[in-house]
Amino acid sequence: MNLCRPFGPAKLARQAGLSVGDVSDILAGKRSPRVEIWLKLMRAAQDLSAQQYQANQRNKVLLDTVREMCNQKNIRKIARESGIDPANLSHVLNGKRELTAFMQAKLEPLWVSTNHSSTL
């Protein structure tokens, strides 16, 4: 069950197709799940873990690309093109802040345009 804990009952329940209350009770140790329920939870946790890994890898590639662009240009110019505060971009690139979904959405068009221009 430790594999399930990082995702929380709501996410896990949604992925497994179970009720939040049932998953919450199982994680809290108030109920012992049947084998098929336990298997659903384990599959859901594995799926969520794989999705999280893929998202982390995508973010790593995105940030590596943005760092490379900043080395070629100027971090302020990249921030301006993306509509992001230069200080926040600097903190994310230096690992002092997490990449937010908002910032990711602002940076992805740069990443896509860089990938398309390098393949042409």
Q: pLDDT tens digit string along 71-114?
A: 998 999 999 999 999 999 999 999 999 999 999 999 988 777 76
Judged by DSSP in three states, 59 sits in: helix
Q: How far apart are CA 67 and CA 74, in angstroms?
A: 10
Per-domain residue ranges of the chain:
5-53, 54-119
pLDDT score at 119:
42
pLDDT band for 1, please (50, 70, 90 cuts).
low
Q: Is the pLDDT of residue 32 over 50?
A: yes
Q: Is the pLDDT of residue 68 over 70?
A: yes
CB count within 10 Å of CB 112 equals 12
Q: Provide Rg for the chain, Cα atoms.
A: 20
Q: How far apart are CA 95 and CA 89, in angstroms?
A: 10
Q: Is the pLDDT of residue 51 over 80?
A: yes
pLDDT score at 111:
73
**Cα first-last separation, the chain:** 48
Residue 82 contacts residue 89 (beta carbons within 8 Å): yes
